[in-house]
Amino acid sequence: MRKTPKSVFERKFGRRRFLGTTLAGVGAALTAGMPRISLADTKTVKIGMNIPMTGDYAPWGLPGLYGSEIVANNLNAAGGVKIGGDTYMIEMAAYDHGYDTEKSVQGFKKLVLEDDVKMVMMLGGSTVASIVPWAMRKKMLTTTLLPSDITPDTPYLVATCESHPLYNVTGVEWLAEKNPDLKTAVIITTNDIEYGKQSAATYKAAFEVAGIEVLDTNFHGFDVVDFAPIVSSLLAKKPDVFCMATDVYTTPIVEQLFHQGYKGKIVSCTLDGYQDVIAKTSKEFVEGLVFQFPDFDDPKLVGGKINFPDPGGFDASFNKDHAGEWSAVAWEYPSILLNWVEAAQAAGSIEPTAVLEAMKANDSPAHTFGPGKWWGAELWGLDNAVIGDWPVVAINDGRARIQEFRSVYTWCQTNVAELSKQMKDLDLRIA
């Protein structure tokens, strides 16, 4: 269990952000339209985040804002970013759309037209779909964490960091290589399109390629109170591999596997709270559980091809202020921010179109876990997603440890037909 080091309450209430935003908000409520104070003589570039900070989707937004602020502060503290002869301070401008399409449109326009941001980072799904027509016309550089948002009509929408759900394939590939005797698998996932079904289709393709038969795929809603029935029904199929394709309910699902006496292998898309899982089951039970998201203090993330400065330090400073709030998006949004910095420096400009051009011009763009490739035309109709190596993580002795890096790109290039077939089977959009 990831315990908060000191009293959670003192910290939360003592946070400057809390007071600052409260005052700003009350001020805004009282004197709507009061001009914002800004530092006059420093050049500032604003990066927008149009994300959910309230409601059910907040965990996929807020930690990203926290992470981005850490990275931006680090860059600013180091003297800012030099772009085309100017030095810029980076400022994050965020808007809470609460995963509501209307507010997403409003927030996007506010960020672009009033805050004059040079890039808008978004989560993805319907909130992105609703801004696409306007954003594309405006030629606004927009990023998503769901590459499946990319269509032939979205030239200004890129997914440079998370390649959900493509990265899932490496874990299955690795597992099958290490355990050639695995024959069957079952998949459990949420019944939504963006996360659940995309991920299930990818996993199924990966299993097929690895020669493992998928016996059953269970799609459940977000209203599940108790996973016992679903897990019971899946275990009745006697699978060798139990695969969790979405991350929201991993802990209660693994807990059920543990109690229901499951003996086989477990694969998960993410397992952000794996310490909780261990606390609820046992170290032995989760030993060897495969997933895709490393801890940022993993020794294998130091040096080499990793394109994230000081992951360990980042991890530490995030946990200092936001213990227990870590999720994959905490580093994914900052990672996109870093991609932007790289591209802006290459372009020598902060203008969205120029930055995008520089991004796309780079044949081997920096991806968090090593050099990447632009990909996606075969699946979504446009090469606007960066995919590259992705770590295979497994739990060893109670810690998530990177086992090895594998190329998602290679897998996709070889097996895109199988992937397309599985996507089609689930009525998912493909080019």
Partner 1 sequence: MSKVQLSQIAGIVAMLVGLMVLPNYLKYHHQDFLIFLTINILVVVSYRLMTLTGEWSLIHIVMMGVGAYTSALLSKNLGFPVWISMPMAGVGAGLIAALLCFPLFRMTQFYFLIGSFAVGEAIRLAWIFFVKPFGGSSGVSSIPPPELFAIDFMDPIPYFYLVLAVVTVCLVILYRIENSRIGLTLHAVHWKSSLSESVGVNTWKYRSLAFIVASVFVGIAGALKVHYLGNVTPHQFGVGTMVFVLIWVIVGGYNTFFGPVLGAIVLSILDESLRDLEEYRPAIYGALLIAAIMFMPKGLESVPPSIRAWFKAPATPPPG
Partner 2 sequence: MELFFQSVINSFIQGGFFALWAVGLVLVFGVMGVVNFAHGELVMVGAYTVWVLHSQYGIGYIPALCIAVLLVMFIGLLMERFLFRPKQGDPLGGLINSIGVLFILQVAALVVGGTGPAKQVAPPFPGTLIIQEFLRIPNQRLFSIAVAVAALLLLWFFLTKTKLGWSLRAVALDREAAALQGININRTSMIAIGVSGALAGLAGALMAPISNIYPTMGHNVIITAFIVTIVGGIGSLSGAVLAAVLYAFLHTFVTAYFSGTIATMCGLLIMVLVLIVKPTGIMGQKVSE
Rounded to a whole number of angstroms, the minimum distance from the CB of residue 283 to partner 2 is: 12
Rounded to a whole number of angstroms, the minimum distance from the CB of residue 394 to partner 1 is: 31
x/- letters, 301..330, toward partner 2 (CB under 8 A): ---------------------xxxxxx--x
Partner interacting with residue 416 (select from partner 1, partner 2, none; CB below 5-8 Å by kind): none
Partner interacting with residue 426 (select from partner 1, partner 2, none; CB below 5-8 Å by kind): partner 1
Partner interacting with residue 363 (select from partner 2, partner 1, none; CB below 5-8 Å by kind): none
Residue position matching structure tokens 């001020």: 27
The nearer residue to partner 2, 278 or 379, going by C-beta atoms, is: 278
In angstroms, the CA 142 to CA 109 distance is: 12
Rounded to a whole number of angstroms, the minimum distance from the CB of residue 203 to partner 2 is: 18
* Contacts (Cβ under 8 Å, ≥6 apart) of 194: 124, 125, 126, 146, 148, 149
CA-CA distances (angstroms) from residue 77 to 48, 90, 112, 252, 369? 20, 10, 26, 41, 25
Rounded to a whole number of angstroms, the minimum distance from the CB of residue 210 to partner 1 is: 26
Closest CA to 181 of 284, 103, 265, 259: 265
Q: Show the 3-state SS of 210-265.
A: CCCEEEEEEEECCCCCCCHHHHHHHHCCCCCEEEECCCCCHHHHHHHHHHCCCCCE
Tokens of 212: 């493992």
Partner interacting with residue 132 (select from partner 1, partner 2, none; CB below 5-8 Å by kind): partner 1
Q: Which of residues 189-248 bind partner 2 (CB under 8 A)?
A: 191, 218-221, 223-226, 228-230, 232-233, 236, 247-248
Closest CA to 215 of 189, 230, 194, 234: 234
Q: Does residue number 134 form part of the binding site for partner 2 (CB under 8 A)?
A: no
Buried/exposed code over 188-217 (b: 16+ C-beta within 10 A; e: otherwise): bbbeebbbbbbbbbbbbbbbbbbebebbeb
The nearer residue to partner 1, 54 or 414, going by C-beta atoms, is: 54
The nearer residue to partner 1, 415 or 422, going by C-beta atoms, is: 422
Residues in the site for partner 2, rule: CB under 8 A? 1, 3-4, 8-9, 12-13, 18, 53, 55-56, 58-59, 61-63, 191, 218-221, 223-226, 228-230, 232-233, 236, 247-249, 251-252, 255, 258-261, 272-273, 276-277, 279-280, 322-327, 330
